[in-house]
Chains A and B, each alone.
Chain A
């Protein structure tokens, strides 16, 4: 079984058939709404600028706002259709409608055509829940990276981040963890601090100043 990959991820049609587990995805609607709010705010704020600075932001933000509203309406419509049990039952699997009807159109076996045309994970079912939890895990690591950076600074913080992520997420051995972390930190220190003479951020705790270097 491939490590790190869902074993039961299949085509979208397979998951549509698992209707009791199907949950409509609200994410696209939220993203569309955020786009509308952001562009609307920018267009509204641009009204307070003098004439010349107002032109670009007002014009393009207003256009984006209108287009965003269209996208939002489409997303809301799709979300409501998905929740409608009659529409779900009548829905044809996208892999049968949107793809070339024969893999020989590209000279490719059927499973490869489907895999290539559906790179994204499904948005329904138990696999979707697993995908969501993996997403939260990825964001958790990004949050940890941010905390390490602001608290411990570049050199110490990034080293700590790499060691922890390689050990916990990657489940790598100590030898490989320390080798990779040490190598990357040494290379970045030489390149950025010595060669490019970048004064690195020490972090809120300023750990480096506590070390007798």
Chain B
């Protein structure tokens, strides 16, 4: 095992380090500006990295992905407005701290917690390799097939009230991946006689359309900037950051618990950063004995728990992505697609022949998180000024760069058409509650799924799901999950009908009074977490909508 570790470390030459630093800077800029997010950045930089040497390209992609939740703590604390959904929980205690003149301490705690969380996430990834490796090597085509189906369902299941829409989006993604020439037979499918479509829809223009152009359409139609809505006197005195850094180690139990919770949530497909931050926050609030000040009024532990979890989840999310080739979010799906295009196949191949790449990824995770935290602490005020950028200044350059990127991959005009068409589709999907995460995961995994299906049929016959024990177990789990979701939907529908018959005023008085008496920490509920998770699934790694702050 020492050789791949040294090879991975050796891959971090000066050029790679500088490239990772650039990716981290871009990631922080994108994290702070509302309307942009992690998946958007990955989609835009994909065409630029494909021409590079694979190790360098992978390092850039990891650097951009691993720190997309770090920088938004700045706006959460200074303005009380998150730059992306993963910064919401930071506002609960960060903004009150800033109002008390403790913005510097809050930012220091936020960044240090993010760095420590990211490092612990990388360590978790390293520790899990020998554990996961024998599992991955023992499962075959049938198990991979049903695993992918389960993952798609699990991601759609996150938004329970839009489960069907999520599944439709996943099915649409799978269907779109079948466009083009089928690998084994050479039969062209859904090409309408167009030579351009013989290779199928290209990944880069597809991603650029879905995440970059769709977001710019939304930004253009909404306009504005968060800076117009914030208080005139920004709480931007950031002296005292070092005390915040020390807080992270002073409250090491909170940091450790938040990080481990983030890793676990990262492993589960579909939950993402929003679930991690709220669960960690709730857990920290429940575990604290007589917190002073109370959570929600400027307790630094609230910031530490949520930010540690937000960054550690990336290490956890990389485990199923790299080991099984099953991404749990749109960012991971784009990363996976990028790796495949660079010639690195996640899954058993990664764990057998490309361990050096895996170790390089771990080292890049550590470096990127430390660098991002240091950068943001030193330049917090400069980053905060980015929030004054208006949609009118962001949209035109981003649209132009996106189209350049879409065209540059294969130099075909059809790619530009694809990006624009998919951009329109992505806009309406987001608007009407269809999960773009399941769409892109279905699109990325479609060819793989078809291959596993054909291999399974060839090796084990039409009943392959029933004569392979592991596959059968996963199938039973899927059926139980489907039945459970249908049962819950039935219960919720029945509850909605009952509520509709109640008078509006005073309905929740008793419950509300009880919760206010209990205080914020004890009242945090699964329902509240689920609502936040469903918003994350809607916004899908993109920044919070400027109209969220319409009544500030």
Contact = CB atoms under 8 A, between A and B. Distances in A.
B490 interface: no
B168 A57 contact: no
A73 B443 CA distance: 26
Contact of A9 (B168, B507, B550): B550
Interface residues of B, number: 103
A141 B538 CA distance: 25
B266 interface: no
Contacts of A158: 400, 403-404
B393 A117 contact: no
B137 interface: no
A118 B347 CA distance: 39
Contact of A104 (B396, B496, B516): B516
Contact of A196 (B51, B92, B521): B51
Given A138-B220, A158-B400, A149 B416 contact: yes
Interface string B523-552: 111011001100100110000111111111
A154 interface: yes
Given A5-B546, A60-B174, A107-B296, A188 B401 contact: yes
A124 interface: no
Nearest to B162: A71
A35 interface: yes
Contacts of A101: 508, 511-512, 515
A119 B544 contact: yes
Interface stretch (B180-188, B312-320, B335-343): B180-188
Interface string A103-115: 0111110011001
A57 B178 CA distance: 6
Contacts of B507: 96
A28 B433 CA distance: 9
A172 B392 contact: yes
Interface-centre pick from B516, B528, B544 (highest chain A CB count, 10 A): B528
Given A27-B432, A91-B500, A142-B217, A55 B550 contact: no
Nearest to A57: B178
Interface stretch (B197-205, B353-361, B365-373, B449-457): B449-457
A119 B313 CA distance: 24
Contact of A102 (B178, B184, B515): B515
B424 interface: yes
A126 interface: no
A208 interface: no
B223 interface: yes
A53 interface: yes
B453 A56 contact: yes
Interface in A47-62: 49-50, 52-53, 55-57, 59-61
Contact of A67 (B171, B187, B217, B552): B171
A99 interface: yes
A116 B34 CA distance: 14
Contacts of A3: 223-225, 228, 390
A42 B522 CA distance: 51
Interface in A86-135: 90-93, 96-102, 104-108, 111-112, 115-117, 119-121, 131, 134-135
Interface SS of chain B: helix, strand, loop or mixed?
helix
B295 interface: yes
A162 interface: yes
Interface string B371-397: 000000000000000000011110111
Nearest to A70: B164
Interface in B269-302: 278, 285, 295-297, 302
Contacts of B278: 106
A192 to B, nearest CB: 6
A49 B182 CA distance: 10
A106 B93 CA distance: 11
Contacts, number: 276
Given A60-B171, A91-B500, A180-B397, A53 B185 contact: yes
Given A170-B390, A184-B397, A5 B222 contact: yes
Contact of B531 (A35, A100, A115, A135): A100
B393 A57 contact: no
B187 A53 contact: yes
B189 A53 contact: yes
Contact of B431 (A106, A120, A134, A188): A120
A131 B431 CA distance: 12
A50 B411 contact: no
B408 interface: yes
A5 B396 contact: no
Contacts of B135: none
A198 B411 contact: yes
B432 A102 contact: no
Top 8 closest A-B pairs, CB basis?
Answer: A4-B223, A107-B296, A170-B392, A64-B171, A107-B520, A101-B508, A4-B224, A56-B450
Interface of B: 48, 51, 88, 91-93, 164-165, 167-168, 171-172, 174-175, 178, 182, 184-185, 187, 189-190, 213, 217-218, 220-225, 228-229, 278, 285, 295-297, 302, 390-393, 395-397, 399-401, 403-404, 407-408, 411, 413, 416, 420, 423-424, 428-429, 431-434, 446, 449-450, 453-454, 457, 496, 499-500, 502, 504, 507-508, 511-512, 515-516, 519-521, 523-525, 527-528, 531-532, 535, 538-539, 544-552
25 contacts: A5-B550, A6-B547, A49-B189, A52-B185, A53-B182, A55-B450, A55-B457, A61-B171, A71-B164, A91-B500, A92-B500, A100-B528, A104-B515, A105-B528, A112-B91, A120-B431, A121-B222, A134-B223, A149-B416, A158-B404, A161-B396, A169-B220, A172-B392, A188-B404, A200-B407
